[in-house]
Structure 1
């Protein structure tokens, strides 16, 4: 059988070989830079000005640390968990639903697709995540979904807190040319240089963090809602586009297959558990080991 449509590269191979490492490390660098920028802006700049009591300040620090631990835990687990299928076996009598990947020179089970970035077939491929530096699929989707949820919660918290801080100490938020200019580059640099709006280093960093928080808040909310919707339907993005729903086993079972029996706990703290889909017909087959 021919390679599936998802196996076809979108970019030229030369571009991938020359610049893929730059894209991957730039994404990871942006993630860590924004994370530490949020921590600095919230804890050392905004909290002392926004909250009047130590109880309020410490409560928000505890919340931010809880979000950070969940975010970093799922980031680490998702980054080290590989969903690729690299048996290298060419079956003499493969199941009718299996495909043959000419890139990997092996038979692959249903719902797997070749990733031209990972250069491997990925089980139940969802998409390639540049932050994880690998594909999100069968084994690490349960980490990716809580990860984007906590990135959203942290970004939204920082966005709201920093806006309150800047509204009272920098330029009041209003529909005016000076306000828009002061919050959009190069306005903050101009104000910093000419000493308008009392721009300190902390305020400048906070304004810069706002841009990242706004993009991650909206982007992660969209990703989380989309992923939860697809899991509920028992579909991957590819299957949703093709209208394939034959793998759905009901909403509850679909969630249980991805997150496990106690799937709500995955959203409270990182759980390095093995997905139940490993034993399903469209996951990693148990019989290939005996070949």
Structure 2
């Protein structure tokens, strides 16, 4: 029989161990706790995204649109510029929502859920637990939110029980609700609360990447190619010529954008198509890759509403989270059959 340690005893031990720490050390541990290993890569990609968005919008409005649509009247050019701004604003808005919506599973004190007290040292898959919402006779109420408590799991890293379809991320160092995958380009995990924004971001990235890639290539072909050589389109050579004044900053930005836009559009299109297929099946990338035993019995329309909310097509026009919220809470799933992930024994 494993030694059972309740939550109050663990909290006491942790509190006693922190008494001897200085205030500076407590602050350092607080901000260092849960910090992912790829902070530098995350901030580099985010800085690159901001730089790309600002400079691409600038050159598009000031140079690309006036040059490519120079045969059109000023009002037509104006509306095309409005459309470019609309695409950019929606892409940035969904990018911010992907990062700002925290999709991790948080520990709270007032939640009557399955709580694991201890893990056997010899068999980590077998643990002793109890139901905090059970009555005085030890029975689980029929109207309890924890009817599917046996499908909850225990994260030994976060030291808490997690609901079905929640999995731990080694980079975020958190348990993510309905974890899909960790996106290194955005620098965060894609899960229950931000998957809708990630899919829309992939859609707008596809449109912007391919459309702006064509605009940029057309401008370079008409303006820069007649007076340049082939090697000027290699970024190291372009940067060298920029330093020594042979190429202006506009040409350097356009060549730099041309190396990012088309690959970004192609990669985003793969993400968008794959996400739409997976959402229609009611699954996640993690469940498919890890072969998690999950079976969806809901129709395709309900699967899309589960991710995007009601009238889910409006998400492609503007972020619709405020008006059409998701139906699930990320912990219980109607129409989903989830196999038990652990063996549970009564204490």
Q: What TM-score comes out, normalization by structure 2 length? A: 0.68
Output aligned runs, 1:104-143, within 5 Å.
Answer: 104-143=158-197
Deviation at 1:19, TM superposition (A): 5.2
**Aligned partners of 1:271 and 1:203: how far apart in 2?**
38
* Aligned with 2:87 (options 67, 71, 86): 67
Shift of 1:27: 1.4
What is the aligned partner in structure 1 of residue 315 from structure 2?
266
TM-superposed CA distance for 1:104, in Å, is: 1.2
Query: Residue 271 of structure 1: CA displacement?
Result: 1.2
Q: Which residue of the partner structure matches residue 329 of structure 2? A: 278
Q: Secondary structure of 1:96's match? A: helix
Q: Is 2:97 the partner of 1:77?
A: yes
What is the rounded CA distance, in whole Å, between the counterparts of 1:117 and 1:279 in structure 2?
A: 21
1:99 aligns with 2:153: yes
The count of aligned residue pairs is 263
2:75 to 38, 44, 55: 55
Question: 1:89-126 CA deviation, whole Å, 9 max, x = no partner?
Answer: 62514722111111111111111101122221111001
Q: 1:72 to 1:117 in 2, by over 3 A?
A: same
For the Cα contact (< 8 Å) 2:178–2:191, is it kept in 1?
yes
Kindly indicate whether the alpha-carbon contact (under 8 Å) linking 1:233 and 1:245 is maintained by their aligned counterparts in 2: no
Q: Deviations over 1:28-83 (max 9, x none)?
A: 10110111121122122222222213234222211111111211221222222111
Aligned Cα root-mean-square deviation (Å):
2.8
Asked if 1:183 is matched to 2:233, the reply is yes
Q: Secondary structure at the match of 2:328?
A: helix
Residue 155 in structure 1 maps to residue 155 in structure 2? no
Which residue matches 1:236?
Answer: 284
Deviation at 1:158, TM superposition (A): 1.2
Distance in 2 (alpha carbons) for counterparts of 1:190 and 1:62: 35
Q: Which residue of 1 aligns with 2:219?
A: 165
Mapped to 2, the partners of 1:18 and 1:125 lie a distance apart of 16
The farther-off stretch of 249-258 and 45-54 is 45-54
What is the aligned partner in structure 2 of residue 227 from structure 1?
Answer: 275
> When the two structures are superposed, what TM-score results if normalisation uses the length of structure 1?
0.81
**Cα offsets for 1:4-35 (capped at 9, x unmatched):** xxxxxxxxxxxx96953212211110110111
Q: Quote the Cα distance in structure 1 between the aligned partners of 2:183 and 2:36.
A: 19
CA contact (8 A) 2:52 2:257 kept: yes
Q: Distance between the aligned counterparts of 2:292 and 2:194, measured in 1?
A: 24
**Alignment-derived partner of residue 43 in structure 2:** 25
Structure 2 residue aligned with 1:256: 305
SS in 2 for 1:138: coil
> Which structure features the higher share of helix residues?
1
Instruction: Please say which of residues 48-57 and 33-42 is displaced more in the overlay.
Output: 48-57
Instruction: Give me the whole-angstrom Cα distance separating, in 2, the residues matched to 1:238 and 1:19.
Output: 20
- Given that 1:230 and 1:240 are in contact with CA atoms closer than 8 Å, whether structure 2 keeps it comes out as no
**SS in structure 2 opposite 1:100?**
strand
Shift of 1:207: 0.7
Cα 1:66–1:166 shift into 2, 3 Å = same
Larger Rg, first or second structure (1 or 2): 2
Unaligned runs of 5+ in 2: 1-33, 117-129, 132-145, 335-347
CA displacement, residues 165-218 of structure 1 (integer Å, 9 cap, x when unaligned): 11111116xxxx943x2322334346657887xx43212211111112122111
